[in-house]
Structure 1
Amino acid sequence: MGADSWQEFLQGDENAFSILYCFYFNELLAYGLKIGFDKEVCKDAIQDVFYKIYISRTQLSHIRNIESYLLHCLKNRLFDLHNVETKINHINYNEIIVERENSVVESIIEKETELQLEGKIKQSLKTLPPKQRKIIYYHYKLNLSFDEIALLLNMKPEAVKKSTYRAIQKMRESQQLKNPIFTFLLPLL
């Protein structure tokens, strides 16, 4: 629904814009609240994001994943509002505590390991049905609780929990992964 409405909006359908707004508003609001912003600030930021999209739609034809784009824009707008509100113009480096510095080699090894793991996870996510992919995204990427996901997807929290468990099992089986990340994820359910 979102992708179809997005394409219709890009082609000039004013009604599709309204559908996009209604379709994504609750998800964007839940995301903004989850990352720690006030409800009214989130609402204002959502309005700002949709206003900007509306006035610049002719330059947005390259956007394929509107949900991801909206979440990214909202996060950026919220942090812009926060910076303006608190008048943060510089960083006081004396207040930043560096607990541990990695050597360049250690950093490269960590990054490479991260990229390999990320690739395996992305590959195994492709084996999931869209609804399970969305549940995994909400739970692990947006850190939404099962209750919050249940509200967004009109499901029961227990059904969300079971679907998450099954998705992780399926991901593990699809890659025959014995990676610690998959072992780590299951006990969190």
Structure 2
Amino acid sequence: MTNQSDHTYIQQALKGDTNAFSFLVRKYQDMVFSIALKMLQNREEAEDVAQEVFVKCYHSLGKYKGKAKFGSWLYRITYNACLDNIKSYSRNFNTTELIEHVHEGEVGMLENGIDVLEQKERNATIQNAIKQLSSDEQVIILLYYFEELPLKDIAEIVDVSLDNIKIKLFRSRKKLFKLLKNEVESLKRTV
């Protein structure tokens, strides 16, 4: 489906066609739930937030101007709803200090070390490292690597400039590499 077909369904929904809005919900529900689950790390909270996102979307549909893709606009609503949820429950994310020195050789060493891990351990290691990032860093990494969104779309979702998102992505990757490197080194010592 293209953005044009989204626009058609949006126009129909604004005229009161609930089936048109249902189509948009079905089309984007997996995406919304996926990002909510990745941000909140709790299935029930993610389901609640996803439902809340579509309610907000329905009530705000008239405010959608079509400047950004509908999916990007919906991602932004999801992102903000997740941040509100995190703030309301005063979650305490484990943040690691930003590491200033990650060398290219270390990245290669990290890749070789990860190859030692079995697939299941590899996935768990990556997920645990991502959980140690701040919520903003997690979102940027998840949107870029797992949702494969272009940087322009991510910048729109988190409401920062394209240059700023590039910097944030660079720093988040650097921090993630350091966390993964430490995990791999720790696993090598125990093997």
TM-score (ref. length: structure 2): 0.44
Relative contact order, CA 8 A, sep 6+: which one is greater?
2
Q: TM-score, normalised by structure 1?
A: 0.44
